[in-house]
Amino acid sequence: MRKYLLGISAAAIAALVVGCGSSDTGASHQMDETSTSAESTGSADQAEHNDQDIAFAQGMIPHHQQAIDMADMAAEKASNAQVKDLASRIQAAQDPEIQQLTDMLEMWGAPTEPTTSGESDMPGMDHGMTHDETGSKPLPDSPWVDMRVMSVSKAQDDPGVGLRGNGRRVLTLADLRSDFADPDGREPGRTLELHLTGSMERYAWGFDGVPYSESQPLRFDYGERLRIVLVNDTMMEHPIHLHGLWSDLEDASGAFQLRKHTISVPPGHLRSYRVSADALGRWAFHCHMLLHMELGMFREVRVE
Ligand SMILES: [Cu+2]
């Protein structure tokens, strides 16, 4: 499972690099924080961890447990020999993973189950934004959502899995700042909070638990300045690209930081940015991991 996730994030990096070209005009292509690469060190950074490591490990234990439960059921009730064989291999593979996750959490002195407070006291939450999004928007009960993030981080300075504490200086989002002030200057008139959601079992993706096939366009009023808040409820990073309009990323205090095409949201993180709806038309708004886009993480934005 871990391998699988890491494999996908390598694909994400490739997608980000490919994703730099866009229909917008006059943009300098911002280097994304995750496109920096370095080799992972072996055991040196095993003890090093952050909130997201803990959230990942805590979240994966029930995931593996569920796989074992399913495999138990198949071993008992299935009739196909291939299914039975697969089930027994899944049982064998998941147990050591649960043990490994539990060991890691114990080493970090963290509980094996997540604390359920929506507002956490973790360092990532201390920055407090000027607006009051909580990252806990209620979503419809949907087969397209198999997890919700328990504590949202706004941190921008985490190099990411495999790049922490390895002796290299890694460029992160926190290092990037436009050398101009907010080109629009107006305070956003409203906030649109969208959750990046998915189901690992179905390998299906969407915004707010709704795949594109079942979605309605997001409507922006021509000329308005609005804030988009993205909360990543999944275990994968999603680089989200709004075509036709700029994405003016805000820093942790809610101030203008950086003009971008694509806002990448790591697992369990929140990013907020301002958009001026200054181009009439129908625009694509999607994850730039094209497989995620194809499998639902896509919306139409209408400026009208
Ligand atoms: Cu994605």
Q: For the residues 183-191, what does the mean pLDDT come to?
A: 97
Residue 278 has pLDDT above 80, yes or no: yes
User: For residues 285 and 298, what is the distance between their CA atoms, to the nearest angstrom?
Assistant: 6
Q: Given this model, what pLDDT does residue 91 score?
A: 74
> pTM of whole model > 0.75?
no
- Let me know: does 206 contact 197? Beta carbons within 8 Å: yes
**192 and 226 part of one domain:** yes
Angle formed at CA 260 by CA 254 and CA 263, multiple of 5 degrees? 75
- Assign residue 139 the CATH number of its domain: 2.60.40.420
**236 and 94 part of one domain:** no
C-beta neighbour count of 142 within 10 angstroms:
16
Which of 102, 105, 55 lies closest to 233 in space, CA to CA?
Answer: 55
Q: Given this model, what pLDDT does residue 49 score?
A: 80
For residue 221, the CA-to-ligand 1 centroid distance in Å is: 26
For residue 238, the CA-to-ligand 1 centroid distance in Å is: 4
For residue 302, the CA-to-ligand 1 centroid distance in Å is: 21
For residue 120, the CA-to-ligand 1 centroid distance in Å is: 25
Q: 155: which 2 tokens?
A: 């941190």
**292 and 146 part of one domain:** yes
**158 and 284 part of one domain:** yes
Domain with 61, as residue range(s), is 50-107
Residue 35 has pLDDT above 60, yes or no: no
Q: Given this model, what pLDDT does residue 291 score?
A: 94
**127 and 275 part of one domain:** yes
Give the containing element (helix H, strand E) for 239. Answer: strand 238-242
**97 and 167 part of one domain:** no
Whether 44 is in a domain gets the answer no
For residue 186, the CA-to-ligand 1 centroid distance in Å is: 30
User: For residues 267 and 272, what is the distance between their CA atoms, to the nearest angstrom?
Assistant: 15
Whether 113 is in a domain gets the answer no
Residues with CB under 5 A from ligand 1 (ion): 238, 287, 289, 292
For residue 297, the CA-to-ligand 1 centroid distance in Å is: 7
The pLDDT tens digits for 71-103 are 666 666 677 777 777 777 777 777 777 777 777
Q: Given this model, what pLDDT does residue 136 score?
A: 67
Q: In Å, what is the CA distance from 128 to each residue of 155, 185, 270?
A: 11, 21, 12
Q: Which of 107, 130, 148 is the last residue of a domain?
A: 107
**130 and 65 part of one domain:** no
Give the containing element (helix H, strand E) for 189. Answer: none
Q: How many domains does the chain have?
A: 2
For residue 5, the CA-to-ligand 1 centroid distance in Å is: 12
